[in-house]
Amino acid sequence: MPARVVPMLATSGALPAERDDGAFAYEIKWDGVRAISYISEGRMHVESRNLNDITNRYPEIHPMVEGLDGHRAVLDGEVVAFDESGRPSFGHLQRRMHLANEWEVRQRMGEVPIAYVLFDLLWVDGRDLMHRPYTERREQLQLLVRAPGPCWQVSTFHVGDGKGLLEAARERGLEGIVAKRLTSGYEPGRRSRNWVKVKIQKAQEFVIGGWLPGEGTRTGHLGALLVGYYDETGLRFAGKVGTGFNEKTLRWFKDALAPLARDTSPFVDKVPWKLARYVEPKLVGEVEFTEWTHLDTLRHPSFKGLRDDKAPEDVGRDP
């Protein structure tokens, strides 16, 4: 049995070309934490993507060993938590991460249930499957884990029709899908083009209420915008946006924000940066992002452009 496997990673990209659609299997992108499990002699050892031992962090998945009927195996998957609507939520999962002791873990088990979603089998009973095609590894995985357990399951996949699955994921508000080439082997530690993650981005308008100075190559320019939206309490802080700018927009913001400067924050929430500079909330920009975090700030935001067709006071949080 391999002592340690660095997980194979997917590259970000678009759906495969239509002519290649049938050469790929498509799965949901789960938005959790990667977990490689080593099962031998009735015990389970689990490691994260960066090879940290997370065995004791998720004790509810340990009984999966009994369901494997004595088989020894190395499996790849993702630990996922779900929000109130049943969608994978990294924000929810964070409440189960970085816990200091067993008492905290046991307490959070009831508060934040998790599932171990399995999607690859790398080694079983002395056979190294990493050089075998994806389809063979998935067939062997399904034979090994014949039925889902209380908090583990084998992920489903569809050969072809990536466009259809992407649209279904979009309708359910999921993060995206992953396309995996049917003939591909498992490439430990590599970010491979044989696996392509296709993200679904959200977008909406936000009011610009401040900015952070740039560092490094951006010294003397904008580093990030501080954005928010209005609700009944006032302008709510939604996070910082530090990507999506080119040299032209950086120069534009340097000139446009200067006359709007103010001494106090326009946000009703506390902004967690001492170097924040504040402006009158007069400008509206469109921002693309993946999701709202559990702290109600934007995850992976990117600036898309200014909007002059909407008044700042009309900008609220999209449902």
Task: List, for residues 59-81, the tens digit of each pLDDT value.
Answer: 999 999 998 989 999 999 999 99
* 29 given a catalytic annotation: yes
Paired sense of beta strands 191-199 and 9-12, if any:
parallel
Q: Say what the pLDDT of residue 173 is.
A: 83
Pinpoint the residues of the chain covered by CATH 2.40.50.140: 202-310
pLDDT tens-place string over residues 78-104: 999 988 888 888 878 877 877 767 778
Q: What is the pLDDT along the chain (319 residues), one digit of tens a residue?
A: 999 999 999 998 899 999 999 999 999 998 888 999 999 999 999 999 888 899 999 999 999 999 898 999 999 999 999 888 888 888 788 778 777 677 788 878 878 889 999 999 999 999 999 999 999 999 999 999 988 999 999 999 999 999 999 999 988 888 899 999 999 999 999 989 999 999 887 888 999 999 999 887 777 789 999 999 999 999 999 999 999 888 888 888 989 999 999 999 999 999 999 999 999 999 999 898 988 888 899 998 999 888 877 889 989 998 7
C-alpha neighbours within 13 Å on the C-beta side of residue 38: 16
CA distance 223 to 220: 9
Would you state the CATH architecture of domain 202-310? Beta Barrel (2.40)
Q: Say what the pLDDT of residue 181 is.
A: 98
Closest CA to 28 of 86, 84, 74: 86
User: Catalytic one among 29, 180, 202, 240?
Assistant: 29
Residues in the chain, overall count = 319
For residue 131, the tally of other CB atoms under 10 A from its CB is: 9
- Does domain 9-199 match CATH 3.30.470.30? yes
Q: Say what the pLDDT of residue 291 is.
A: 85
CA distance 16 to 22: 9
Q: How far is CA 246 from CA 70, 204, 249, in A?
A: 57, 20, 5
Q: Say what the pLDDT of residue 111 is.
A: 81
Pinpoint the residues of the chain covered by CATH 3.30.470.30: 9-199
